[in-house]
Amino acid sequence: MKTNQRADQPLLSVEGITKSFFGVRVLHGVSFELWPGEALGLVGENGSGKSTSMNILGGVHQPDGGRMSLAGQLYAPQSPREAGRAGIAFIHQELNLFPNLSIEENLFITDFPKRGGVPFIDRGWVRKRARELLAEVDLDLPPTRLVGNLAQGERQLVEIAKALHADAKVLILDEPTTSLTRREVERLFAIVNRLKSRGVGIIFISHALEDVMHVCERVTVLRDGAVVGTDLRERLNVPAIISMMVGRSIDAIFPERSTKPREEVALRVRGLTQRGVANDVSFDIRAGEVVGLSGLMGSGRSELARLIFGLDPIESGTIEVAGTRLMRPTPKASMAAGLAFLTEDRRNEGLLMDASIVDNIGLTFLKRFRVGPGFVGGKALNTTAGELARMVHLSTDRVQDTLAKHLSGGNQQKVVIAKWLLRRPKVFILDEPTRGIDVGAKQEVYRIINRLVEEGGAVFLISSEIEEVMGLSDRILTINKGEITGSFERSGFDREAILAAAMAPVGPKREATA
């Protein structure tokens, strides 16, 4: 068997890969090796360069520098297809399957075997090969079953079966366990171990460090687009990995704030629960306070914000804004009570691209500018919009004839913030307020946040950049899998402890195995 052969060269070697996007260098020379039959864990904080590295490996992006070789041959894929042909299978977190087709059709969709000279699918061969592949991943399902009727874990196994059909030498699994139940995770591990014994090399990217330690022989830690270290599992433990992951210098400067949080509670959340989304979430935010929410991708940060703002239904729990309980949270009721919500997706949810700045600012609060039944006073609206535009330091004061789409990302964000400020919110939920905007605009957003709390507002700040949360918050809550896993006062901010809390395992340890 293959395992008896002593591999004398790595299956895959990556040497000094660099990559920049729009002049910003995101990878500073990433190097690692993958040996046949081993699983290599790849871990790092949000933005450490894991995804970019894997996208280069999978042919999605091309590197600016460095070299890769696969089984001794130079490897430089120009497209995902080329990567696939070379034997690299990339299983993304978002699976690439068609729910309206059967398992077997999904397996062979790009290269259906035809029967002899006629253009018909050789269904007999397809069925037989599909059964073989499904057996290899321990999936006991009829190949004719629609993928739409499969559970998430089963779909993942179908993707792996597809990779086996393509004769993959390297299998990249991106966050494979996040949306699986514990039982499905165990099944996945069994398959991974089987593939290892056949000489396949596995790259296992995950925030679930317990899973990484369980299935990987070696772990590579990335930070700031470079490898911090690679070591054998035996010589590592979860706290050691976490301390390797953090330690980034805080480069952003956060403006000082002159006021302290007040006594009165602006937002009180108690026992907020929605099956599959959040479990028993309770916390307070006081007037004049910034509370940061820190969590990894898929931890349920934005989903929690949506629940609080009333965008998604809640099963149980209460929400109070400045002492008034929201009986049935809807966005309208939340807004009336003094909540504001800056979504992470300003392009689709926050802004009308073809409307002027004035119209964008006034849109959600036209009532305020009513001059008669059904009429809106243009003059008052223009004046107020102009004031707000100055307040958020918008780059232009031509608020009437500048369209939102002509503004930079940072200025668009300021328009969305101004729109909400018009309502003088008591509690402002900011979801990724500085994503995709330049450093100068970030500073201005930070100043707006400070000004807001100095005037007695409360801010709930969600950000995947931990320095940002640490730099702005009076208190930090950590969330994982829809549960609050830690709370830190400003005096006790500690990156390592916060990251450890955000990674704390949540959920049933092991489900009853039937």
Partner 1 sequence: MNSRNRITILLLQAAPYLLFLAILLVFGSLSDRFLSLANFTNIVIQAAPVAILAIGMTFVLLTAEIDLSVGAVMYLTGCILGLYLGGVPWPIGLMVVLVASALLGAVNGALVAYLGITSFIATLGTLFIGRGIAMSVSNTASVYFPEAITSLNRATVFGIPSAIVAVAVVFVIAWVLLQQTPFGRQVYAVGQDRDAATKAGLPARRIVFFCFVISGALAGMAGFVSSTQIGAITASYGLQAEFSAIAAAVLGGTSLFGGRGGVKGALFGALLIQTAANGLVIINANPYIYPLVTAGIIFIAVAVDGLRSHMLERLERRFIRPWEIA
Give the footprint of partner 1 on this chain (CB under 8 A).
80-81, 84, 96-101, 105, 109-110, 112, 114, 119-121, 123, 148, 151-152, 179-182, 275-279, 298-300, 303, 481-482, 507-508, 511
Min separation Cβ 80 and partner 1, Å:
6
Q: Rounded to whole angstroms, what are the CA distances from 194 to 80, 143, 189, 212?
A: 25, 21, 9, 16
Min separation Cβ 151 and partner 1, Å:
7
Q: In what order do the strands lie in the sheet with 475-480?
A: 339-342, 427-431, 458-462, 290-294, 475-480, 483-489
Do the Cβ atoms of 428 and 342 come closer than 8 Å?
A: yes
From the list 118, 117, 134, the residue with the least C-alpha distance to 126 is: 134
Pick between residue 80 and residue 486 the one whose CB is nearest to partner 1: 80
Pick between residue 161 and residue 392 the one whose CB is nearest to partner 1: 161
Min separation Cβ 99 and partner 1, Å:
6
Pick between residue 182 and residue 423 the one whose CB is nearest to partner 1: 182
Q: Exposed/middle/buried for 240, CB within 10 Å: 0-12, 13-18, 19+?
A: middle
The alpha carbon of residue 296 and the mean position of all alpha carbons in its chain are separated, in whole angstroms, by 7
Min separation Cβ 469 and partner 1, Å:
19
Three-state DSSP class for residue 361: helix
Min separation Cβ 46 and partner 1, Å:
16
Q: Exposed/middle/buried for 316, CB within 10 Å: 0-12, 13-18, 19+?
A: exposed
Q: Exposed/middle/buried for 18, CB within 10 Å: 0-12, 13-18, 19+?
A: middle
Dist. CA 143–CA 103, nearest whole Å: 5
Pick between residue 96 and residue 324 the one whose CB is nearest to partner 1: 96
Min separation Cβ 179 and partner 1, Å:
5
Angle at 497 between CA 303 and CA 476, to 5 degrees: 45
Min separation Cβ 47 and partner 1, Å:
21
Pick between residue 289 and residue 303 the one whose CB is nearest to partner 1: 303
Give the CA count within 13 Å in the CB-facing half-sphere of 116: 1
Pick between residue 276 and residue 373 the one whose CB is nearest to partner 1: 276
Pick between residue 117 and residue 508 the one whose CB is nearest to partner 1: 508
From the list 252, 255, 207, the residue with the least C-alpha distance to 506 is: 207
What is the C-alpha R_g of the chain? 26
Min separation Cβ 296 and partner 1, Å:
11
